Structure 1
Amino acid sequence: MALWSGRFMENVSEFTQRFGASLPVDKALYAQDIAGSKAHAKMLATVGVISEDDAQQIAAGLDRVKADIESGDFMFDINDEDIHMSVEKALTAEIGDAGARLHTGRSRNDQVATDTRLYAKQRATDLMRANVALRHALIGQAEANFGVILPGYTHLQHAQPVLFSHHMLAYVWMLARDYRRLQAARDAADASPLGAAALAGTTYPLDRQMTAGELGFASVIPNSLDAVSDRDFLLDLDYACAVSCMHLSRLCEELVLWSTSEFGFIELSDAFSTGSSIMPQKKNPDFAELIRGKTGRVIGNLVSLLVTMKALPLAYNKDLQEDKYGAIDSAKTLEDCLQCAAGMIETMSIKPENMLKQAKLGHLAATDVADYLAKRGLPFRHAHEVVGHLVLLCEQRGCNLDDLSFDDFKAASPLFEEDIVKALDLPSIVAARTTEGGTGEAAVAQQMEKAKAVLAADESLL
């Protein structure tokens, strides 16, 4: 029988019961629901609304319910509709009237908001921890392969040579920003709605500060309408997950490309590859592709909640029942993707000789040749044109810039001297990028230390 059965002459149909039930999703919040109920009961006893004996029976009963759930002995019934009713029914069946007093002074509206905020805080912390693990893996590869040169790309065309370490650190900084977003989502969830009741507060002398403290919330939400209807904190979590997955998708796209025969920059370990049912030679980067594919669903979860929220009047509406599935799914998906990406990065083999071979193609020294002329007084735009003609000459001859003779360079501009050969040396080109954030070894070494310091500071917050 439904909790509201006194007002109705008949129950909902079997179909509408299933259609309206959130239990298949929100049973994942059982631990948060029980924690909230224990804090509420303790507070009710403290302010004299229920007896101390009732509060003790409730706490002990809730502990037994939690133990049954975690042992697999608890039987969830779809007729209970949601986790709140499921837990309360089991509690009341075990301890009687004391269990029936638990709901005094609260509504499922503030109860579900409390559960969801507690869940969001925990999952954000879990994701921050997984984020840190992947950053360790990326920095580990950057350190292990310091000095390795690969071609840098724009428009997927050869552009300028960069250090492989520099490339890995670019993702470290993306993930550092993702960490900040997850941290912000955790902070956004860190306020207690418990005690707001259905929408207007309650006539019972509840101590909302006490329950907030019991549950580890930093503050109490000051407006009861906002407390039960706000889901901004879930939007923040969904957004943080979506952006992080987008970054992982970019990383995985490069892993897929780099592991092809055409690039040959890396080889993924067998543990993070699969074969073909028909082609014996295949080694497919399936898990990188899966991360790339799962990103679409996580982005969809963010859009779904935004659309759900866009036209809701205050305060609680049943639409909000749709808020949890996407957040639970996004957090789980991102956590799995971060773990998978860390494994791929830690175990992949780097092929420096293939990276260097490709870096010697595509005239990657062209910008440095133009800079050579500009440093000798030729306006850069004119220098750009001179080197463009030299590249065209190479294309016509089917050769690279370093294949041209000194006479070829001298014919293009009298400013060229014998030392132009140094401007064509890839290690020298890379090393010359000494500006902060550049790809020169000295600059990357400084960047590495900064990335490690930021990582250590972030890890200390977990």
Structure 2
Amino acid sequence: MAQLWGGRFTKETDQLVYDFNASIKFDKKLYREDIVGSKAHVKMLAKVGILTDKEALDIENELDNILESIEDGSLVIDETCEDIHSFVEACLIKKLGDTGKKLHTGRSRNDQVALDMRLYIRKKLEEIDVELKDFLGVILRIMNENLTTVMPGFTHLQKAQPITVAHHFGAYFEMFKRDRQRLFDIKERMNFCPLGSGALAGTTYNLDREYTAELLGFYGPTLNSMDGVSDRDYVIEFLSALSIIMMHLSRFSEEVIIWNSNEYQFVEIDDAYSTGSSIMPQKKNPDIAELVRGKTGRVYGTLMSLLTTMKGIPLAYNKDMQEDKELAFDAIDTVKNCIILFKGMIDTLKFNKDVMRNSAKNGFTNATDAADYLVKHGVPFRDAHGIVGRIVLYCIEKNIGIEDMKLSELKSISDVFEDDIYDAISLDTCVNTRLTIGAPSVEAMKNSIKKETEYLKNS
């Protein structure tokens, strides 16, 4: 197929060079965006009198036919074309002849691909946001159902203080809520239209760039034509946001993997989200969580690759920038699938509530509350800390918990203790006396859940 730029050349491009240069094998994903952008361009050309109304209508109708034919499978994208832009224009010219050749008036492939990529990324931002919102809905349901499900909270993977499943999952709710906010911020910054920037220096045609931007749902046109064709900040920001989403999913995956282990047995993963072993019949492996954890590095790689590609590129457009597409496409598909699968896994997760409570009970997670008890009875905190440290050593030697000690044993270490210590260090008291905003008590969590429910409703 003849190239759009062939007039300058007197011999054919070497086939190996052509294949290396061509992008259609991956940028064919942009067929819809390319056609939508072309239709807006045509409307604008008719508005400013560069095309007649009939020419514009003929081109628009044929672009609609091309789109419909691609989507119903009757038109197969020809991968011998250099890129999706060449393919669409070639189909148009084949049908409309000279009228089809007028489509490209006033634009370059540089601003055309910049537009297509912005439209695609904007759409995928919205799709990822929808998945995150659904995911947050699942987390919120689990929080609502587990306000009193006590479990140990950890620091350094050591049992620290008693919390609830609602409180633990609430931490991830905050993470993924921030992820949605990042996506919104990216969309706000990127939502300007590069079409009309030309190759790098605009055009001599009297284009109405504001009208084109309005037709395509942008806030307005980009204000510098060189930046318009060479900016890929929005792709880098998107890959960064996707990497952070994957980091959060990976942390969550790591915890599910630990909780699902024989040593913890906090949860049981549904059979639909587990696999077995080819040799060990007893095994039930958390493969989805492990794959999500593993694919995190893959998404990180796309971000680092594009940052490295862009770091040495002078203004304006350079062919290196073609590398953004495969990276972005792969990261988007990976993250979307990971969110969907992880959401399904935790939606069907079974919590072994008694095991979780016993783990909190057996890990001295009430030690801080024992110290707080002493402080409330006039003991300086540093002294209280030391007293409870000695109590823990005593319990370790006896293989008992603090709550299992007799009052006489407690008094032998500090005579401040009285019978009310047992209520003060019960797990439920330890959780529910923490009433500050963001704490794990039922009252504090109900307030948090109310706010999170409003957030989901209004976002």
TM-score range, shorter chain: over 0.9
Distance 1:265 1:297 in 2: 29
Deviations 1:17-52 (A, max 9, x none): 111111111110110000111111111111111222
- 1:303 CA drift (Å): 1.1
Distance 1:368 1:146 in 2: 20
Farther off after superposition, 68-77 or 254-263? 68-77
3-state SS of paired residue (1:340) = helix
Where does residue 440 of structure 1 map in the other structure?
A: 441
Contact persistence 1:33–1:111 (CA under 8 A): yes
Amino acid at match of 2:271: D
Contact persistence 1:229–1:315 (CA under 8 A): yes
Where does residue 355 of structure 1 map in the other structure?
A: 356
Contact persistence 1:121–1:187 (CA under 8 A): no
Deviations 1:283-330 (A, max 9, x none): 111111111111111111111111111111111011110111121222
- 1:74 CA drift (Å): 2.3
Where does residue 267 of structure 2 map in the other structure?
A: 266
Distance 2:314 2:379 in 1: 66
Distance 2:382 2:3 in 1: 78
For the pair 1:47 / 2:48, whether they are aligned, the reply is yes
Distance 2:138 2:342 in 1: 9
For the pair 1:156 / 2:157, whether they are aligned, the reply is yes
Deviations 1:169-216 (A, max 9, x none): 111111110000111122222110000100000000000011111111
- 1:145 CA drift (Å): 2.2
- State the number of aligned residues: 458
State the identity %: 45
Where does residue 170 of structure 1 map in the other structure?
A: 171
Where does residue 287 of structure 1 map in the other structure?
A: 288
Amino acid at match of 1:393: Y
Distance 2:91 2:24 in 1: 14
Deviations 1:84-118 (A, max 9, x none): 01111111111111111111110000000100111
Where does residue 34 of structure 1 map in the other structure?
A: 35
Distance 2:63 2:453 in 1: 44
Unaligned runs of 5+ in 2: none
- 1:79 CA drift (Å): 3.3
Distance 1:33 1:327 in 2: 17
Where does residue 25 of structure 1 map in the other structure?
A: 26
For the pair 1:126 / 2:127, whether they are aligned, the reply is yes
Distance 1:329 1:126 in 2: 15
Where does residue 319 of structure 2 map in the other structure?
A: 318
For the pair 1:211 / 2:212, whether they are aligned, the reply is yes
Amino acid at match of 1:326: L
Distance 2:39 2:359 in 1: 63
Distance 2:400 2:147 in 1: 30
Unaligned runs of 5+ in 1: none
Where does residue 278 of structure 2 map in the other structure?
A: 277
Counterparts of 1:179-198 in structure 2, within 5 Å, are 179-198=180-199
TM-score scaled to structure 1, two decimals? Answer: 0.97
3-state SS of paired residue (1:158) = strand
Where does residue 366 of structure 2 map in the other structure?
A: 365
Deviations 1:98-147 (A, max 9, x none): 11111111000000010011111110010110001001101111112221
Amino acid at match of 2:199: A
Where does residue 414 of structure 1 map in the other structure?
A: 415
3-state SS of paired residue (2:103) = coil
Amino acid at match of 1:387: V
Distance 1:171 1:11 in 2: 57
How much is the aligned-residue C-alpha RMSD, in angstroms? Answer: 1.1
- 1:61 CA drift (Å): 1.1
3-state SS of paired residue (1:80) = coil
Where does residue 330 of structure 1 map in the other structure?
A: 331
3-state SS of paired residue (1:153) = strand
- 1:368 CA drift (Å): 0.5
Distance 1:155 1:325 in 2: 38
Which runs of 4 or more aligned residues in structure 1 lie more than 4 Å from their structure 2 counterparts after TM superposition?
none
Where does residue 429 of structure 1 map in the other structure?
A: 430
3-state SS of paired residue (2:420) = helix
Contact persistence 1:184–1:236 (CA under 8 A): no
TM-score scaled to structure 2, two decimals? Answer: 0.98
Amino acid at match of 2:354: E
Where does residue 310 of structure 2 map in the other structure?
A: 309
Distance 1:251 1:452 in 2: 21
Amino acid at match of 1:165: A
Contact persistence 1:2–1:11 (CA under 8 A): no
Contact persistence 1:374–1:380 (CA under 8 A): yes
- 1:73 CA drift (Å): 2.6
Where does residue 143 of structure 1 map in the other structure?
A: 144
Where does residue 67 of structure 2 map in the other structure?
A: 66
Distance 2:237 2:111 in 1: 19
Distance 2:248 2:407 in 1: 45
Where does residue 394 of structure 2 map in the other structure?
A: 393
- 1:228 CA drift (Å): 0.5
3-state SS of paired residue (1:233) = helix
Amino acid at match of 1:45: A
Contact persistence 1:188–1:236 (CA under 8 A): no
Deviations 1:353-401 (A, max 9, x none): 1111111111111101111111122221111111111111112222221
Deviations 1:396-445 (A, max 9, x none): 22222122221221121222222111222111111111111101111111
Contact persistence 1:185–1:236 (CA under 8 A): yes
